[in-house]
Amino acid sequence: MVRRLRSEHVLRRAFRRPRSDRLQPGHGAPGPGARCRRGGGAPPRLGRLAVVRDGSGGPGRGAAARALAGAPSVVIVAGGDGTARIVAEAALGSGTPFALLPFGTGNLLARNLGLPLGEPTASVAAAFSGATRPVDVGVAELEDEAGEWTTRMFLVMAGIGLDAEMARTTSTLAKRIIGWLAYVPPIARSLLAHRPLDLRYRIDGGRIRTARAHTVIIGNCGTLTGGMLLLPEAALDDGLLDVVMLRPARRLGWARIGARLTAQGVAHRSRFGRSMLRLAPGLHALVYARGRTFEVRFGTPYGVQLDGDSVGLARSARIGLRPGALRVCVAGG
């Protein structure tokens, strides 16, 4: 509730600025790669702000549908990765640009887009003064324990195993109060349990392989909080899924994985570092793959998370992409 009020305050304050100082959008909805205009000469009016709140504790789908029903020039999503995912599901096919006001716990989508964090006014500015960038949308078809299939979208990552268990057991209230630190207790419990999962998978319809891993991540982008880099080759607009299986030999193996992800994050910041990263020997505990589709089946049902939200148990999954299906406003140059 606090975050919702804060984000609404930021939006209303931005729209109340003197007209000469307002951030001005171009006339009509911008096309792909278009830039929204700022100030200069006799600027057009910024337009009308319509704030649409989601229900208390609700998933936000109704709010997203109501927002899009008004044919807005841009939808500004105030929340975290889970909220962005829900609105993106509703926005697909509408042609409406999508902007982020990151008020979530991890804000991984905003991080990977290079959007400002902790600067809400700058985030609002990006909605009107930035370029629009096409972003791939992940499509997860999940088969539950009863054999029923459901289709969900994701923007950042889909996770199975330890990752999903962490999402399921993390307190929403704790996330609001202490942010990403709320994940520490469930991570510790999962590491102590050290239960691997058995799976059969294939990529792009190729041959079926078997594996044992503690976590499987299928990602659209790779940077985590704290500058850690989980998927070095991932990009939001390359039309490919990046897959990593985490399979430490022992509990202490998680320390080696953490050190490797941190080193990858540091190396990725420079051209030289990225070159060295490609030449570095692989870590046995991290198995990487890439493709347009990823199909997996488990010996027993396991939890699944999409963009940090637990979506229940699945005994099999088919993961694909809709390349460039969403247009996201980013800071202009």
Nearest-CA neighbor of 176 among 85, 75, 258, 83? 83
Q: What is the C-alpha separation between 298 and 265, in angstroms, rounded?
A: 31
3-class state of residue 130 by DSSP? coil
- Indicate the residue type of 163: D
- What does DSSP assign to residue 35? B
For 33-48, letters b (16+ CB in 10 Å) and e give: eeebbbeeeebeebee
Catalogue all structural domains in the chain, each as residue range(s) with its CATH number.
Answer: 2-135 (3.40.50), 138-325 (2.60.200.40)
- CA terminus-to-terminus distance, the chain: 34
Strands 98-102 and 75-79: parallel
Instruction: Give residue for tokens 């792909």.
Output: 32
Q: What is the C-alpha separation between 129 and 83, in angstroms, rounded?
A: 23
Model confidence pLDDT, tens digit, residues 136-180: 999 999 999 999 999 999 999 999 988 777 776 665 655 565 555
Angle between helices 2-15 and 120-129 (to 10 degrees): 50
Q: How many H-runs (helices) and E-runs (strands) does the chain carry?
A: 10, 12
Q: Which residues of the chain have pLDDT under 50?
A: 1-3, 5, 17-46, 56-57
Q: What is the C-alpha separation between 202 and 231, in angstroms, rounded?
A: 19
Q: What is the C-alpha separation between 116 and 297, in angstroms, rounded?
A: 38
Which residue pairs, CB below 8 angstroms and at least 24 apart, start in 14-18?
Answer: 14/121, 14/124, 14/125, 15/46, 15/49
